[in-house]
């Protein structure tokens, strides 16, 4: 998310940014706007003074990350907004945790979304597809893996399949 924030001119402190993807982020923001598609980015984040389980932390607006601090989780408003958006979905593909869930202090966003997806799967019959090693680890850590429709550690491959790319393993089977 911090690449998208920086592309919009927000200060991101020491947050993880893919500098080589800033132009792509700007392009995606513009495409979403032109097509009238909602691009849901967190409005608040939990920031920390260092990358550690015992870091000092606070919640700030996404546009107000202090110098020297780094975003490590989404904030409570972002959790609420994301949960409400998920209520309207029948199929959810989740690739990538909401924060540094490995540190309990920064797992609130990931845990909340995992619980939301489990609830939507079991009560609404939504199809929930969890892709990628970190996402799988997050739902397993939350004890909710058995509540999801499908789990795959092949997150990148899953996204490429959705893009319409031919996967090497599938191609090999087709040729056999």
Residues 158-167 pLDDT 10s: 778 778 888 7
Are residues 167 and 96 part of one domain? yes
pLDDT at residue number 69: 98
For 38, residues 6+ apart whose C-beta sits below 8 A from its C-beta are 32, 85
Domain end among 74, 97, 125: 74
Residue 72 is predicted with a pLDDT of 98
User: Which CATH number does the domain housing residue 113 bear?
Assistant: 3.40.50.1260
Instruction: Measure the CA–CA gap between 150 and 54, rounded to whole angstroms.
Output: 34
- Rounded distance, CA 67 to CA 71, Å? 11
Residues 170 and 100 grouped into a single domain? yes
In a domain, 80, yes or no: no
- Is residue 155 predicted with pLDDT exceeding 80? no
Q: Is residue 13 part of a domain?
A: yes
Place of tokens 């920031």: 47
Range of the domain at 115: 89-175
Write out pLDDT tens, residues 19-57.
999 999 999 999 999 999 999 999 999 999 999 999 999
Pairing of strands 44-48, 127-131: unpaired
Are 96 and 168 part of one and the same domain?
yes
- Per-residue model confidence (pLDDT) at position 163: 82
């Amino acid at each position: 998310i911090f690449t998208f924030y920086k592309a919009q001119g927000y200060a991101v402190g020491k947050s993880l940014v893919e500098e080589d993807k800033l132009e792509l982020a700007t392009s995606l923001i513009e495409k979403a706007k032109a097509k009238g598609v909602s691009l849901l980015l967190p409005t608040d984040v939990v920031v920390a003074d260092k990358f550690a389980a015992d870091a000092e932390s606070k919640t700030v607006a996404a546009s107000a990350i202090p110098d020297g601090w780094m975003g490590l989780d989404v904030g409570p408003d972002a959790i609420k907004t994301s949960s409400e958006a998920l209520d309207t979905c029948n199929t959810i593909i989740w690739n990538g945790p909401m924060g540094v869930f490995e540190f309990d202090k920064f797992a609130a966003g990931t845990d909340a979304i995992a619980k939301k997806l489990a609830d939507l799967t079991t009560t609404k019959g939504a199809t929930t597809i969890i892709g990628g090693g970190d996402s799988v680890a997050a739902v397993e850590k939350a004890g909710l893996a058995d509540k999801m429709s499908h789990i795959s550690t092949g997150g990148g491959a899953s996204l490429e399949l959705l893009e319409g790319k031919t996967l090497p393993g599938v191609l090999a089977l087709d040729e056999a």
